[in-house]
Chain A
Amino acid sequence: MADAVDTLPTQQLDPFKGVKKVPLEEYFTSGHRTCQGCESALVMKLMVKAAGPRTIVLGSTGCMYVANTTYYSTSWVVPWMHTQLGSSGSAGLGTAAALKALMRKGKMKEEPINVIAFCGDGGGADMGLSAISATLTHPQYNVLILLYDNESYANTDIQLSGSTPWGAHTTFSPPGKVKRIMHTRWKKNVAGMLAAGHPESRYIGTVCASYAVEMMNRVRKALTIGGPTFIHSLDPCPKGWDYDPMLSHELGELAVNCGIWPLYDVEDHRLRLYGRTKQIVEKRTKRQPVRDFLIRQGRFAHLTADDIDYFQAKIDEMWDKWLLPGVLPIWKDIAQDTPPAT
């Protein structure tokens, strides 16, 4: 059965050993029009810096399309192509499949070429989820899907997505005179869901660009392992989250330190927490109250003390009750639950 999965070799991208070892070359450069303090633009820059020049990038509709490419200028040094909002999975798959077919048939010089398809939370957690899921079931194609999650449809004026946190003020969920909380859904757990459902994917991880070297090394790891892989990045967004742009880096750290954004890898089916998340779980550092994260953002300004307590309780649940804390929302004590009355 060894011939069942026929894969192409990947580039060997060893981890950067510290920030001073990161190359100076940029493949996402000037010419874009992203907001001041945009963490997603930083994610693009780090992502492609980690991948290197022999890379094709596909970008689905969203901020990182509209703000980054304006005809007659482009911030992309590597080949880049737009794809539709729900198509990051398909774009990566089609590109990887074409490379594989053309190289096998002698129509293109053989070499490992990285394929990265990115999407925002609208394109990943909402519309494109089906195509991403499908792509993660194709072991023979080397494609990394990177979801840059700024927690709203930020390019179209900050509308809530399936990845917007509970209670957040967006233009589709404004606090009003009768309803204070218009957005009553809890944020989707995309990386956990994809890890749980895609046994053929050899790498699924979460990152935060506040920890830039760790983030780049996870991109390098995913590309080196090959096959279909997925990285979910939480990107503070000054416009959507409503805070001073100088706080972007700090808010990323706070999301991790408050336990809202767990950092983990699932590499070859083995879960490994890393960074501050690991320290929290190992009780080497204390989880900060979510209040510290929430009160710095205008999108949560209408939350009452009770609302913040509720938010805290939900985050506590993630860590105290989930079978895989912060990763898999199935409760540990499910076996001990009282059986339903007959």
Chain B
Amino acid sequence: MAKVIEKAQQEKEALISGSEAIAVACKLADVDVITAYPIRPYDTVMQYVAKLVANGELDCEYIVAESEHSQFEIVKHASAVGARVFCGSSGVGWMYAFEALTVTPALRIPMVAMVGNRALDDPGAFGVEHNDALAVRDLGWQLVWVDSAQEALDTALIAYRVAEDRRVFLPCAIACDGAFLTHSQSMVKIPPQEWVNAFLPPYNRGDLQLHPDNPITVAPQVNEDWLMELRKHNDEAMNRSRDVVIPEAYRDFERIFNRSYGNPFFEEYQTADADVVLVGMGTLSMPVKVAIRQMRKEGKKVGFVRLRWFRPFPAEQLAKTLSRFGAIGVIDRDFSFGAPYVSGVVATEIRAALYPVDKRPPLLDFISGLGGREVTVPDVRRMSDMLFAARAGTPQPLTTWVGVRE
């Protein structure tokens, strides 16, 4: 106990935003090369990084690129030489980098990036939607959604640890809801450097490092002769991340930082006795939790599962957890036009995860909070009412847009 208190005293607290929390994580991780390009709302992180560099608090090559494509290509190549790198974008900026985003996991580059989730153009909207980050879900990017500035800082450190683990060597994007997290301040515990050093070993690219002492040829043409085997390697790396490396990293994090996230893959809120459950990612947990507390006072037992890691997707764990409930409501802050049952991306994935399970409760999808529109407490109550109706056997539409003008 004495050790724990001693640890707690070493932590500093600061009132900072989600973006600033990730900039602080870059400093603690001693990142070597960072590239910036402006687009709201992620770019606040680079403004904080620039200040850290200007004040001599972060020793890195800080490059302002001329496009997102270059931004991601520059750090991709820096990582191939052995540098720890950081990058990021939002909305259509992330899409502008898409070619670079495609080759980064294919080359086993452990880049860490921040996505300040933003609606895709057109028409313009600054607010949060998850379609930008979700667009890379098939490519080998690890994707983790966070809910608070503290979780953003901690997860950035965990992301470096997981991505740079030789058993993984895949990039990781930390998705932060635009405005709700990127620009909202809260009290954050900033760990001392020694703890971070104990948790995060230096990036070692080993025999994949591009250097005259190790004159390898990277990414030659393979064609049909070898591409399938290489894809399989990436598949295995992603599975190792889920089964071994992410759980290990969270265990060590808890031990060194004395802060526990419980199950690394998803947070459960008041699920122990819940009859129905809502599932969502990111900052919508705030209105959902408030609504759940209200409804509980009225005797409506609603629980909430906040999914953190979307890639690798914790299918078995999540399916096992969700099959306990009388009905499942997924809140999708995204769209997937023409998808099965016109659902969003998260609901479609969860339906797929549930398929091998014996007990499959009714699953309703709620498309909500697009373009930064708030998911309100009344919205959540309406969703919950539909779940109770579904649980009672009254058929409900499989997908409903909630909070949209009719």
Binding site for B on A (CB under 8 A): 53-56, 58, 65-66, 69-71, 73-74, 76-84, 86-87, 89-95, 97-102, 104-105, 107-108, 113, 130-131, 133-134, 138
Contacts and interface: CB of A to CB of B under 8 A. Distances in A.
A82 B63 CA distance: 21
Contacts of B212: 53-56, 78-79, 113
Given A98-B33, A101-B83, A82 B59 contact: no
Interface stretch (B64-72, B294-302, B361-369): B64-72
A61 B60 CA distance: 29
A130 B69 CA distance: 10
B211 interface: yes
Contacts of A83: 73, 77
Contact of B81 (A77, A95, A131): A95
Interface string B42-66: 0000000000000000011101011
Given A70-B221, A79-B215, A90-B70, A104 B59 contact: yes
Given A90-B70, A101-B33, A82 B78 contact: no
Contacts of A54: 212
B214 interface: yes
B70 A134 contact: yes
Contact of A76 (B69, B78, B100, B217): B217
Contacts of B288: none
A78 B215 contact: yes
Contact of A82 (B79, B83, B100, B220): B220
A241 B77 CA distance: 34
Contact of B63 (A69, A93, A104, A130): A93
B78 A95 contact: yes
Contacts of A133: 66
Given A94-B33, A101-B60, A130 B219 contact: no
A87 B73 contact: yes
Given A82-B218, A101-B83, A105-B32, A95 B67 contact: no
B38 interface: no
A81 B223 CA distance: 17
Interface string B186-221: 000000000000000010000000111011111111
Given A56-B210, A76-B215, A79-B215, A97 B59 contact: no
B217 to A, nearest CB: 4
Contacts of B67: 130-131
A71 B210 contact: no
B66 A130 contact: yes
Nearest to B219: A82
A70 B224 CA distance: 11
B222 interface: yes
B73 A94 contact: yes
A247 to B, nearest CB: 28
B83 A74 contact: no
4 cross-chain pairs, A with B, having the tightest CB-CB distances, nearest first: A94-B77, A69-B220, A98-B78, A90-B73
A76 B32 CA distance: 28
Contacts of A104: 59
Given A58-B77, A91-B77, A131-B73, A101 B218 contact: no
Contact of B32 (A70, A87, A101): A101
B119 to A, nearest CB: 26
Given A84-B73, A84-B103, A131-B73, A99 B81 contact: yes
A73 B232 CA distance: 21
Contact of B221 (A65, A79, A81, A95): A65
Given A91-B77, A133-B66, A81 B219 contact: yes
B33 A97 contact: yes
Contact of B210 (A74, A79, A92, A138): A79
A56 B214 CA distance: 10
B152 interface: no
B210 to A, nearest CB: 5
Contacts of B202: 107
B340 to A, nearest CB: 33
Contacts of B63: 93, 97, 138
A43 B215 CA distance: 20
A41 B6 CA distance: 64
Given A69-B217, A76-B215, A95-B80, A89 B70 contact: yes
A130 B66 CA distance: 7
B81 A87 contact: no
A249 to B, nearest CB: 28
B70 A81 contact: no
Given A83-B73, A91-B73, A133-B66, 16 more contacts: A71-B225, A76-B215, A80-B218, A81-B77, A81-B210, A81-B219, A87-B69, A91-B77, A94-B33, A94-B75, A94-B76, A95-B77, A97-B63, A98-B79, A105-B30, A130-B70
Contacts of A84: 69, 73, 99-100, 103
B221 A98 contact: no
B226 interface: yes
Given A105-B59, A130-B70, A134-B65, A81 B32 contact: no
B219 A90 contact: no
Nearest to B73: A90
Contacts of B403: none
Contacts of A80: 215-218
B342 interface: no
A108 B202 CA distance: 12
Contacts of B210: 56, 79, 81, 95
Contacts of B81: 56, 94-95, 98-99, 102
A90 to B, nearest CB: 4
A321 to B, nearest CB: 33
A55 B213 CA distance: 10
A77, A78, A134 — which one has the most chain B CB atoms within 10 A of its CB? A134
Contact of B220 (A71, A92, A113): A71
Interface in B254-268: none
Nearest to B102: A84
B83 to A, nearest CB: 4
A31 B242 CA distance: 40
B214 to A, nearest CB: 7
B82 interface: yes
B134 interface: no
Nearest to B62: A97
B74 interface: yes
